[in-house]
Amino acid sequence: MLGLLRDAGAEGASRAELAAGTGLTPQAVSKITARLRAAGLAADAGRRASTGGKPPVVLRLVPGAAHAVGLHLDRDSLTATLVDLTGAGIATRTAPLAFGAGAEAVLEVVTGEVRALLVEAGAAGAGAGAGGASGAVPGGASRAGSGPGSEGGPDLGAGPGSDGAPGGLGAASGPCGGPGSGTASGPAAVPGLGAGPGSDGAPGGLGATSGPCGGPGSGTAPALLGIGVAVPGPLDHRAGVLRKVTGFPQWDGFPLRDALAERLGVPVVVDKDTNAAALGLAPRAADSFAYLHLGTGLGAGLVLGRNLHRGARTDAGEFGHQVIQVDGPPCPCGGHGCAEVLCLAAVAAGDTARAARLLGIGAANLVRLLDIDLVLLGGRTVLADPGPYVAGVRAVLAGAVPVGVTPSGDRTVVEGAAELVLAPLFGRAGAPGATAFTSRDGGPSVPPSV
C-alpha cells in the first residue's frame, strides 16, 4: 500500500483506489491507512471533486517521515547519498577510496563519510521532497505499485499484520516496532535533523533521539531506516559477505554487512553495484532488461519478468566474465578471454569503437539467451562519452531491442543502493530472504511490507 502511495506522488490516492490496487477490502484499507497516518508515514491530501456522494479523502505519502542512506563503494571512489521515502536526494558526498588498502582503512573512510553526510543534511535541513528519482527510460513505463520482487521467495519482511491484512504494520513487535524497524529497537534517528546526542549504546552508533525510539510518528527526528551498500562483485548478498572481487583477493570472505552495521549502529544491506542500479531503475524500465555497467570493471544487473535476478548463489550478473575470445588474454579472475579484460584493454588503448563492439557482443549474448526487452548502459566510462557506446551496441544488436543510457547518470548506482533499503518497505524487495538485512544487535531486521 505504501508503494501505491509512493507512486501516486503529491496528488495522492483515495481509499477506494488503494483497495482496487491491493485487492484488500475497504475495511482493511481503512485500518491500514489509519495506522500509516498514526505512524506519520501518510497524511491527508485534501478531497477530490465528487462524482456523486461524499467527496473522497485523498492520502499521500509523507516523504520526510523517514530516510535511507545509499553508498557506492567503487574501486577508487566512494559516493554517499541521503534520500527521503520517495527516493529524492537530500545530500550527497563523494570521496576518494582505495579499495585495495584493506578493510580497516575502507571502513574508516565509509564511517566518516556517512557521519559527515548526515551532519551536512541536518545543517541544510532535510526537506520533504515531492518526487523520487526522475528520468524516462527507453522502452519503459511507470507502473503504479509495481517493481521487482523476489524470484526466490516473498518480499522481505512481508507477512500478515495483526489485523490480518497482508503485510500489515502489526508485523513489528515491541514498544518501538513500526515501519522500517522490524525490531523492538526501532530505526535510528538521523543525526543533525533534530536529534540529540546518541544514547543507544551501539558501538560507533549514529545515535538515537532523546526519546526511546525515534522515527515516524514519534515526535522526534526522522528515522534512518538503514544503509544500502553497493560494491563490486562477486559477493554473497544473503550473508553480506564479499567474495573474490577481481583484483582485490584480500576482500575474499570479508563480512562487510556485519562490520558496517556494528560500526554505524543501523541496519545494513549489501549488494553488487549492478544489482543495486537495476533495482533502482526497475520501476521506470521494461519488464525485462539488462543494465550494463562499464567503469573500473564490467558487470550487469538483470531484471527478468519484473524480478531482480540474483541467481541461486546471488552471483548472477558477472557479465564481464563471459568468455568471448577463446584462448584470449588472461583475466584476473583466472579465466581467459573474458569480456572485462578485453573491454578494459580497449578502453585503456583509447579504442572506444572496439570497446563498444565488445560490449555489444556481450549484450547480444544476453538478449539472445534471456529474451530481454531493453539494454541500458551506464558506468563512468560510458557516461564520459555515451554516443559511441550506444551506437556500437546498437550496431551489434541490429535493432533487436532498444539501447539507451541510464537516465540517472552517475547517480544510478548510489540511488539504487538507497533503494536496497527502501524497496522492502514498498513491497519491491527484489531479494530472496530476510537475511539481507542485519540490525544493530546482529539479528535480522527488515521493514514490513505494507
What letter represents residue 13's amino acid?
Answer: A
Q: Are residues 232 and 218 in the same domain?
A: yes
Predicted local confidence at residue 315, as pLDDT: 84
pLDDT-derived band at 200, boundaries 50, 70, 90: very low
Average pLDDT over residues 251-257: 95
Average pLDDT over residues 67-91: 96
Average pLDDT over residues 42-64: 83
> Is residue 77 one of the residues assigned to a domain?
yes
- The three cell numbers of residue 287 are 519488464
pLDDT score of 385 more than 90: yes
List, for residues 414-427, the tens digit of each pLDDT value. Answer: 999 999 999 998 88
- The three cell numbers of residue 164 are 490480518
> Is residue 369 one of the residues assigned to a domain?
yes
Predicted local confidence at residue 173, as pLDDT: 28
> Is residue 450 one of the residues assigned to a domain?
no
Q: Are residues 185 and 269 in the same domain?
A: yes
Q: Are residues 76 and 45 in the same domain?
A: no
> Is residue 166 one of the residues assigned to a domain?
no
Range of the domain at 260: 66-126+147-160+172-276+417-432
pTM: 0.78
Closest C-alpha to 282, from 160, 146, 379: 146
Query: 65-79, 123-137, 245-259: which has the highest mean pLDDT?
Result: 65-79
> Is residue 137 one of the residues assigned to a domain?
no
pLDDT-derived band at 395, boundaries 50, 70, 90: very high
pLDDT score of 405 more than 90: yes
At 289, which CATH number? Answer: 3.30.420.40
Predicted local confidence at residue 125, as pLDDT: 62
Of 32-46, 127-141, 211-225, 308-322, least confident by mean pLDDT is 127-141
Of 20-34, 57-71, 200-214, 389-403, least confident by mean pLDDT is 200-214
DSSP 406-435: -TTGGGHHHHHHHHHHHHHHTT----S-GG
Q: Are residues 374 and 241 in the same domain?
A: no
Taking the C-alpha atoms of residue 425 and residue 179, their distance in angstroms, rounded to an integer, is 7
Q: Are residues 207 and 260 in the same domain?
A: yes
Closest C-alpha to 389, from 351, 345, 416: 351
pLDDT score of 321 more than 70: yes
Q: Are residues 44 and 73 in the same domain?
A: no
Q: 61, 84, 101: which is the final residue of a domain?
A: 61
At 10, which CATH number? Answer: 1.10.10
- Within 8 A by CB and 6+ apart from 303, the residues are 148, 278, 279, 281, 282, 285, 287, 288, 289, 290, 291, 309
Q: Are residues 331 and 182 in the same domain?
A: no
Taking the C-alpha atoms of residue 120 and residue 255, their distance in angstroms, rounded to an integer, is 28
Predicted local confidence at residue 233, as pLDDT: 87
> Is residue 270 one of the residues assigned to a domain?
yes
Q: Are residues 186 and 255 in the same domain?
A: yes
> Is residue 140 one of the residues assigned to a domain?
no
- Within 8 A by CB and 6+ apart from 42, the residues are 2, 5, 33, 36, 59, 60, 61, 62
Q: Are residues 272 and 287 in the same domain?
A: no
Average pLDDT over residues 178-203: 37
Predicted local confidence at residue 377, as pLDDT: 98
Predicted local confidence at residue 51, as pLDDT: 67
Q: Are residues 84 and 212 in the same domain?
A: yes
Q: Are residues 246 and 114 in the same domain?
A: yes
> Is residue 360 one of the residues assigned to a domain?
yes
Q: Are residues 371 and 333 in the same domain?
A: yes
- For the chain, what is the domain count? 3
